Structures are given as C-alpha cells and as structure tokens.
Structure 1
Amino acid sequence: MLIEEEAVESLAVETEDKDLERLFAEARRYPLLTSQQEKSIDGSKWQAVTGLQKLLVRDKVARHYLRAWSSNTALTPLDIAYFTNREHHFILRRELSNYMADGKQADRMEALHSALQKNRTPRTLDQRMADLDLPASLTVGIAVVVLRLDGVKLQDSVADALEQWSTFWTHTEKRPKTPLEASVREELIAHMESYSDARDTLTMHNLRLVYSIAGRYRGKGVNYLDLIQEGTLGLIRAAEKYDHSKGFRFSTYCFNWITQAIRRHVGDTGGLIRYPTHVQEQVNKLYRLRVTEKQRTGEEPGDAALAEAAGLTLEKTRDLLQLRNLGVSLDAPQFDDDDGTLLDTMSGGPFDASESEAETESLHDRLLLEMEELDKAEREVVIARWGLHDGPPLSRAEIADRMSVSREWVRQLERAALTKLSGNERIRSAFADYMEASD
C-alpha cells in the first residue's frame, strides 16, 4: 500500500513538472515589451473602449439599455439577495460602487441618464459618457449585454452579473423591436476584439513576472500551479485597468495586482482558519519582527517591544499574536458572558437529524412567529444569518453590506436577538416537543 501511495505521489510530481515546463516554454515565446510597445498596445486598448462608448450612446437599441441601466443605479441597490451567484454580486460592487446612489460619481450618472432621457445631441452624450470615466471591463460588459440582446453569443463575467441584476430592476422600459444596425453590431464586435487583443498581449508578455512572484509563496500550503493561476487572474485585471498615460511601466503597475491576488488565495486556502488579508499581513509582520529582534539581541522580545517596533498598540499586538496556530475547542463559549458554545453555531445538528420535513417546517414556522417580538433589525439579522428566508445563510459581512451598517453592529444585533430568543419559554417548549418526536 505504501509503495502504491509513493507511486501515485511520484506520478503527480512528474505531471506537475511537465505542466510547469509547458507553461515556462509558452512564456519564453513572449519577450518583455519595451516602453514604447506598451504605450502603443495600451493606446489601442483605450481607443477600443472609447469607440465602444461612442457606439453605445448613438445607437437606438443601446441607448434604450443605457437609460434603464443608468436609472437603476439610483433605484435598485446591489443587494446580495438578488444574486444566485454571489460572485456576480462582488463583481458589480467592484465595477459599479462609484456610480450607485451613494457613490462618488452618482451625480455624473444622473447627468448621463438625464441626457439620454432628453435625447441630447451625440456630442453631449459622448461628453456625459466620457465624464463617467467607466472602467474598461464595465464598458465591455455593457457592450456584451447589448450584443446578447441582439442574439450574439459572447462570454463575459461582468455581462453575466449585469443580466442577473437586471431581473430585479425597479425601472424598465419596453425594448425597441428594431435590432441593432448591422454596421453598429460589426463595429462593436471589432472594437471588442481590438480590446481583447491588446489586453491579452499585455498579459502574455508579462507571464514570467507571475511565475517569479508565485515562486516566493511556495511552501505555504498551496500548490504552485494554483498560485500561478491566481497570479494570472491578477495580471489580467491589471491589464484591464492599466493606463499608460499615468506615466509608469506596466510591469510596475501589475506587480501589486499579481501579489495581492496570490496573497489573498494563500490566505483563503493555505490554512484551516481564514483571516482577512490585512490581518494576515499584520500577523506575518509581527512574527518577522520577533525573529529579527531575537537575532539582533539574542533574546525573545516582549509584547511591548514588538508593539513599539510594529507601530501597534499593545492590546492589538497581543490579539494578533494569538491568531497563529490557533486551536479552539468546540465546547468553548460563543461569547464571554453566555452558556452557548461554538458547536451550537455549526450547521447540522439536531435539525438535520429529523426524518420528517413536516416536523422541521412546523418548528421553523413557530420560530418565525416568535421572532415577531424582536426588533425589526434584530429579526432581519437572525433570518439572514441562519437562512430562514428563501436564500442561503449569509455571513455578517454580507448582512452588513445589505443593511448598510458595520459588521460589529450586525454582531451586536445577532447577540441581542439570540439572548431574547433563548429566554422564550414557548420556543423552548416547541423545541422539546420536536426533539421528543424525532427520537
């Protein structure tokens, strides 16, 4: 058995080595670009984006979509409950946050919508669209949606997210029966191909930078090929956002995007417990400082010395030092001042043991009825946190985003609600009956 496992492991290593050699051979085909080449390629990318924007505001069918889209940025929030695919919610938050009702560019979005409603001149519409300074990826996503409405099949994640969000739009208009003009459709496709070619060229000629950065994170519990994949996604995002007119080289710009993507992936998958990226970086910084100080002085530095060296408070430093190699008993209390345990918060348990859906539904209905005694905000948090609505359970961060409050406020609401419910004798009695029936 041991020989078989060693053979399988050896085969996996050999396969990975072949994949890596293939990737390196492919990367060697694309030499690094000169500064002038980068400017030329990136210039063609933004020229294509500008061309797409001009076509979108001048074609009748495209303007119809833009009117509805610009209207709903003010009327329909990016509520995570709208999205069956949560990734689509995060994509639109990234692309549209500045243009929503409370965003920095909300007034300019309103100006575009007003100009579209009043059928202003092409020159005015071009100016209003340019004033928005839309991301290239969002411009392309809108163009893909318009082309899909005309029957053209194209793949784009931003377009997928926009379409899912549009099913919940507050304001919609009757779509014109006329299709896109043939010349407009051809120009849209041509501009999109030009954009994709420029983005892909910037990406392919900088793959070696991804391999180099990914190599620094080997040995952290994540496969090297996975690191390369995540770093490449960061590189593609950098190629979409890069603007040569800002005066710096693409390799300088994409370095942070690649590093951020790889760090986030390592943080998400490299350990049993996931912490936010900035917290992981603070923890790593403290441990690096501890090693440095020990090598310099020959003694283990105290918490106060570490706090001073890191520029953090003593309390914050102690909290961060407790995070690495953290082991927590499931019998530990959930909060310092109650009798509940962490095991009580895990999915499954007695509610999953029942063989009768009717009994579970009865208990569920009873719980919802008793929750009417809670404050509105407390009730909303409990329903969303434990998936008592029609959707999946949400995290505190997702609920905070949905309610436009802080995660700490959500935690306090959750805690207050559970305290009230735990003292409800009717809920205790209903649960006791349920457990007796399921035995």
Structure 2
Amino acid sequence: MKLEARIAWKEPFNVVGEKIRYTPKHHTPNSKNEISKLWQRFNTRGEEILHFDGKSYGMCIFGPEDMPGQAFDYIAGAGVAAIGNIPEGMVAESFAGGLYCVIQRRGPIDEIGEAFQYYESAWLPNSDYEPAGGVHFELYDDRYKGNDNPDSVMELWFSIRRKHELPIENRAASLFVHVTDLRRATEWYSKLLGLPIMEERMNGGPVYWFDLPGTGLVLDSDANNHNNPDWQQEKPLVMLAASDIDRAYAYICRKAQVLSEPHRFDGMAYFNFYDPEGKAVMVCWSADGGKEYGLPVTDSPVKANIGGVFVNVKNMEKAASWYCELLGVPLDEESVKQSVYSVPVTRGASLLLDDNRYRNHEAFEILFMFDTDDIDSAYDFAADQGMTFHGELERHGEISFFVLKDPDGNLIMVCQGR
C-alpha cells in the first residue's frame, strides 16, 4: 500500500448521509464491518441527495467523552454545496473549516489500518502538530474504484493543530475604510446596510465602527494622525487578531518591518507593520477576545456581512507564500497560479490576494465586498439610494457583482455567489 502525507486546510463543508453509532471490532475486516454495511445501504440512495458536490465522506465524529478505540458516531454521506430537503432516515451536518493532516492511500479497504498506524506512530510524533480532536474523515471521489480494488485511492483527513499556537490568528478581525468626513461616511454605509446610526459612537473620536459577524468594519478619519508625517503610508486595511500583543510583536519583528512598538490602551493594544509589498497591516489584541456578533436583520438586500477583503498584490507567488507562512497555514501551490488566492481563515471575511489590478494595469483598487442573496435587488436598492456605481453589474456563471464608490472614492463590491 502506498502512503503520501501532506498538510491541508479544509474550508467549511456540509454532509448529508446516514448516521450510526459504531463500536470498533478489530477482529472484523473493514470490508465486512458495520461501516461497510452502512455504505452499502447508503450507496443505493445517492440519487435522493440534492446539490451533490462530487465528494463522499466517511465522517468519524468524536464527542468529548468518547475514548480512543471505543464507540463513536459515523456518517456515510455525500458532500453538498447547500443543504436542501433531507431524505428520510438521513441527517445533514455542517463542519467547520480547519487544519488537517491528509494521508492519501492506495489499496484495498482492508489495509486501511496501515494508514492510521502511519499517522499515529510515524507522522504525528515527528511533526510540529498534535490532534485537534472532534472529527476525522475519509474522503472518496472518482479515484476510488471499490473496496477490493488495489488501485483504489482515498484520503484520510485528521484534524490537527500546532503544538505551539502562533500569537496571531489567521483571520481578519476588522477592516479599515479611511474617510475624510466621518459623519458623511457613517451615513452612507449605514444606509447601504440598512443599519441605524449609533449616535453614542459619534462622540468626536476619530472612528465609527460596525459590529458585524466575523469581521467588523471601522471607518477611520485618521484625525489622531494628522500631525504624524508618516501617517499617509501607515493606513492599514486589515486588522489581524492577536492572542498576546507582546508575543505577536516579537513574532512579527522576525517576519516583517514593524512601524512602531505596541500602542496600549485600556482593554486593547495594537501595532502596524508592512507586508512585502509595503502595505500596512494592523495587529490588535482586545480584552474581549474577539467577541462574535450575529447577522443584523435589516430591510437592505445588501447583507451587513463582509464576505471578503482584497489585498492587491503584484507578485502572487511571493505574497501567497509570505501570508501563508506568516499565518501558519499551508500554501496551495495550484491555486497560487490563479489571479485571486484565498488565504485560509478560521472565520469571517475571506482574505483574498488579488493581482488583477496589476495584471490589467488598472489604477483602482477594490477594498472588500459585502454579501447579498439577490444581486438584482441589491443593485436596484443602491440605485434608489442615489449611490455612485463604478462600472456595470457583471455576471460570471454563478457569481454576480457590482462595485460602488463611497463618498471618499473607496471602491466597495457587492457580490452574490462567491
């Protein structure tokens, strides 16, 4: 049996299938155990499942009380792009994204134990990782030719985490939009999102912020920086979350040009640094630990949810390698050849490295995108509000978007189907 190991990031995914409580019986061949029988039943019902994405999953789900070698929940299921009607007797479950060790194996199913043995006894002890718990799963696609076929290829995905976690998290905690008139900008973004203005935040300070799910939005007038001759170059777009500001500062000092020592206030601290192409990035620690907010219910078809932030780059391979190494996530060497590279994040806005502006010799930059479920209604809504468009509504397969220009000329995308 041939084994290959790699580290990969798995985006959140959905599975619809049949679920059992399984107790391992080591004397029973894998081709004849209860899991194999479950797959035989499930495979006769595949056509009942809507939105199949081409991958099948054997989900091993471990509760906090489940011990190694004892009973656990198992789902034989199909990956789905969206959860629709659930067939009778089946379940639908959503799984969070995360970091995995992936063992690719070739051979009959009865030899699968060698892959588990390799992961537990060879790969894991010699790595910088430890089990993260929760789930691991088998992934089957068109390379799997059947249980007894020696050329069948499948993958085992084991949830892992670093033995020593990095002091910064791979997510955008907030985004900054730099504005000249804070009141005017606040009114514009509030109108677009259908949110009321919180007047207590318009207290003469330099910022107004929106508490949005996953990634917040900060409008910054930079009023406190006007006497700093370097402030024009220190306008960050992305704020990364830190678990410890001093450890984060020491870590970033080894990776990048830091612009100052941490600025400390009651309940928060931050510093800025430059990425390889000279773009300022903020690292921030807050006492609330990154409180999570729900999606506001509004009358606007533009969701108060930031789907992605664009970091415009010139050298995609260098930028993708640098950001992935900085944030401790694996680099996808195939995706780096594309014009947009999505750096894995734990939650919130996608971190999208984009070299389209450089490739196309375009001077403008789009900062980020809001989500919508109805692009036509969102477009009409923005038009009715008298907002300024940058270009036309574009449709590319399942993805549709338009771009708005805020009162300061910042370009903001509204997108459906990302």
TM-score range, shorter chain: under 0.3
Q: Which has the higher helix share?
A: 1
TM-score normalised by length of structure 1: 0.24
TM-score normalised by length of structure 2: 0.25
Q: Which has the higher strand share?
A: 2
